[in-house]
Amino acid sequence: MKEALLYEKLAHEMVHCHLCPHECVIPEGKTGYCGVRKNVEGSLYALTYGKVISIAIDPIEKKPLNHFYPGASAFSIGTFGCNMRCQHCQNWEISHRGATEDGDQLRKLSPEQAVAMAKERNCEVIAYTYNEPSIWFEYILDTSKLARKEGLFNVLVTSGMINPPALKTLLNFTDSYRLDIKGFTEEFYQRLTGSAVLAQVLENALIAFEAGAHIEIITNIIPNWNDSDEQLDGLSRWIVDNLGPDIPWHVTRYHPYCKLREPTTPVETLDRAREIGFKNGLRYIYVGNVPGHPGQNTLCPGCGKTLIDRTGFAIGVNHIVRGCCEFCGCKIGHFRGPDIPIKHHTTPFPEYIL
Ligand SMILES: [Zn+2]
């Protein structure tokens, strides 16, 4: 078992975990809120270190990341546990359970094995995804360090539920921070996720931005929960004012999963979210989970031409050359990619390994 970082020992074999805003004080024999950090005889252990439940090679567009090495293949790994309890979680079967249950379903994958496997499969990126990576802290830290040494990029697909010291440590080795900002009121966060942590999530976005990570924001738009003009206006305005107009914002269609039973989001709602975001100055707003929607494409903010067209997770043309529009030379802000037109996907569809 791997001893956890970022905790302190208290009297009577209690421990205090400082990894995330829950700040769990954990009695002997118990796990924290996340279900994957356990107090064993007065020491805290990271039960999921080196253990994964899912491995896949995903198109980077599935994260979704549209401005970070389009066409790249992301070696994607995830495990059990989460420090939120979102009522609409798509991955609740793995995220809403602890490592103590079904522990033997988990496959062993050391940081060395993860990096070797990603390289063998010609992936440019390792993505920590499917469940909340924050609570996989020790494993991600070790794997990211090694991955970077081997020339791979690291992507955190996260809800941002982590304390700043832990985040800053991970950011030393993180290239892209794909952040979920789920809504724009604390009341909404409390009701949907079980934790009123909007302020912390926003602070973490700033920390990642200041650390120089590539950032893309995603919001799953849920009817009657976060689809009001006020929330969409507040959130898009916050992004523009604090991170700038070039940060991509993905507004995605909600489908009923897990406990939440609202109807599927109408496409008009996503179009309205986009309109509000554009009005506030955002330049790149993408529509997700609506196959064939033109809002999947990257348009030049200068000349309006289509620079990257996407069908599902596959990219067709790519007219971004050295970070600029091939037609008018306009710089495409907050874009990372190679200096030549980017290759098409080697994996236009996810390939499931585990
Ligand atoms: Zn242009």
Q: DSSP assignment of 304-339, as one string?
A: --EEEEEETTEEEEE-EETTEETTT--B-SS-B--S
CA of 320 to the centre of ligand 1 (A): 9
| Spacing, Cα 74 to ligand 1 middle (Å) | 28
What pLDDT is attached to residue 345?
54
- pLDDT for the residue 346: 54
Confidence of residue 314 (pLDDT cuts 50, 70, 90): confident
Q: What is the pLDDT of residues 20-32, one digit of tens each?
A: 999 999 999 999 9
d(CA 234, ligand 1 centre) in Å: 29
What's the gap in Å between 260 CA and the centre of ligand 1? 42
Domains (range + CATH), the chain: 2-46 (no CATH), 51-294 (3.20.20.70)
Kindly state the tokens that stand for 217.
């924001």
E runs forming strands in 62-167:
73-78, 107-108, 125-128, 153-158
- Taking the centre of ligand 1 as the mean of its atom positions, its distance from the CA of residue 300, in whole angstroms, is 5
Q: Measured between alpha carbons, how far is 189 from 199 in angstroms, rounded to an integer?
A: 10
Query: What's the CA-to-centroid distance between 247 and ligand 1, angstroms?
Result: 18
CA proximity to 60, closest of 204, 254, 250: 250
Query: How many angstroms does the Cα of residue 262 sit away from the middle of ligand 1?
Result: 40
* Å from CA of 152 to ligand 1 middle: 30
What is the CA(60)–ligand 1 centre distance, in A?
24
305 Cα–ligand 1 center, Å: 6
Q: Residue 3 C-alpha to ligand 1 middle, in angstroms? A: 52
Which tokens sit at 122?
Answer: 């010609």
User: How many Å lie between the centroid of ligand 1 and the Cα of residue 50?
Assistant: 45
**pLDDT, mean of residues 79-96:** 86
Contacts of 150 (CB under 8 A, 6+ apart): 115, 119
Ligand 1 centroid to Cα of residue 319, in Å, is: 9
Distance from residue 322's CA to the centre of ligand 1 (Å): 13
256 CA distance to ligand 1 centroid (A)?
A: 38
Rounded to whole angstroms, what are the CA distances from 163 to 167, 184, 288, 322?
Answer: 6, 19, 29, 36
At 344, the amino acid letter reads H
Q: Give the Å distance between the CA of 302 and the centre of ligand 1.
A: 5
Contact 143, 91 (CB under 8 A): no
Query: How many angstroms separate the alpha carbon of residue 297 from the centre of ligand 1?
Result: 14
Mind listing the pLDDT tens digit for each residue in 203-232? 999 999 999 999 999 999 999 999 999 999
pTM tops 0.85, yes or no:
yes
Condensed to tens digits (0 to 9), the pLDDT of residues 108-126 reads: 999 999 999 999 999 999 9
Q: Stretch 67-75: mean pLDDT, rounded?
A: 93
| Centre of ligand 1 from the C-alpha of residue 309, in Å | 14
Report the pLDDT value the prediction gives residue 174, as an integer from 0 to 100: 98
Alpha carbon of 67 to ligand 1 centroid (Å): 16
Task: Give the pLDDT confidence score for residue 229 in this predicted structure.
Answer: 98
Ligand 1 centre to CA of 329 (Å) is 6
- How does the average pLDDT of the chain come out, rounded? 93
Q: Is the pLDDT of residue 330 over 90?
A: yes
**Centre of ligand 1 from the C-alpha of residue 223, in Å:** 35
Report pLDDT digits (tens) over 29-46: 999 999 999 999 999 999
Kindly tell me the burial class for residue 13, based on how many C-beta atoms sit within 10 Å of its own C-beta (0-12, 13-18, 19 or more): middle
CA of 307 to the centre of ligand 1 (A): 8
State the distance from the centre of ligand 1 to the C-alpha of 259, rounded, in angstroms. Answer: 44
Alpha carbon of 36 to ligand 1 centroid (Å):
48
> Which long-range contacts does 300-309 make (Cβ < 8 Å, 24+ apart)?
300/325, 300/327, 300/328, 300/330, 300/332, 301/330, 301/332, 301/333, 302/328, 302/329, 302/330, 303/327, 303/328, 303/330, 307/332, 308/66, 308/70
Interval between CA 275 and ligand 1 midpoint (Å): 21
Q: Give the tens place of pLDDT for each residue, 241-280.
A: 999 999 999 999 999 877 888 999 999 999 999 999 999 9
> Mean pLDDT across the stretch 164-192?
97
**Hey, which bits of 225-305 come out as E strands?**
249-253, 285-288, 298-299
Q: Where does the pLDDT of residue 104 fall: very low under 50, low under 70, confident under 90, or very high at 90 and above?
A: low
CA 245 to centroid of ligand 1, rounded, Å: 17
